[in-house]
Amino acid sequence: MLKIGVLVSGGGTNLQAVLDAIESGQIAGAEVKVVISNNQNAYALERARNHGIDAFCISPGDFQDREAFNNALLEKVDEYGLDLIVLAGFLVTIPPAMVKKYRNRIINIHPSLIPSFCGKGYYGLKVHEAVLERGVKITGATVHYVDEGTDTGPILLQKAVEVHEGDTPESLQKRVMEEAEWQILPQAIAMIADRQEETE
Selecting among 110, 128, 144, 164, the annotated active-site residue is 110
d(CA 1, CA 12): 23
**What value does the CA radius of gyration of the chain take, rounded to a whole number of Å?**
16
d(CA 47, CA 182): 16
Per-residue pLDDT reduced to its tens digit, 13-65: 999 999 999 999 999 999 999 999 999 999 999 999 999 999 999 999 999 99
Q: What is the DSSP track for 150-173?
A: SS-SPEEEEEEEEPPTT--HHHHH
Cis previous bond, 60, omega within 30:
no
Closest Cα to residue 105, out of 1, 2, 29? 2
pLDDT-derived band of residue 192, with 50, 70 and 90 as boundaries? very high
H helix intervals, the chain: 13-24, 43-50, 66-79, 96-101, 125-134, 169-176, 182-199
Task: Report yes or no: 33 and 4 within 8 Å, Cβ to Cβ.
Answer: yes
Roughly what angle, to the nearest 10 degrees, separates helices 43-50 and 13-24?
20
d(CA 139, CA 112): 6
* 144 is a catalytic site residue: no
- The confidence score (pLDDT) of residue 195 equals 87
What SS3 class is residue 69? helix
Tell me which CATH homologous superfamily contains domain 2-199: Formyl transferase, N-terminal domain (3.40.50.170)
pLDDT average, residue stretch 97-119: 96
- Exposure string of 75-114, with b = 16+ CB inside 10 Å and e = fewer, is eebeeeebbbbbbbbbebebbeebbeebeebbbbbbbbbb
pLDDT average, residue stretch 91-107: 94
- Burial bucket for residue 26 (CB in 10 Å: 0-12, 13-18, 19+): middle
Task: Report yes or no: 118 and 110 within 8 Å, Cβ to Cβ.
Answer: yes
Per-residue pLDDT reduced to its tens digit, 136-153: 999 999 999 999 999 999
Question: Domain coordinates of the chain in residue numbers?
Answer: 2-199
Reported pTM? 0.95
Contacts of 186 (CB under 8 A, 6+ apart): 17, 18, 20, 21, 26, 27
- Burial bucket for residue 147 (CB in 10 Å: 0-12, 13-18, 19+): middle
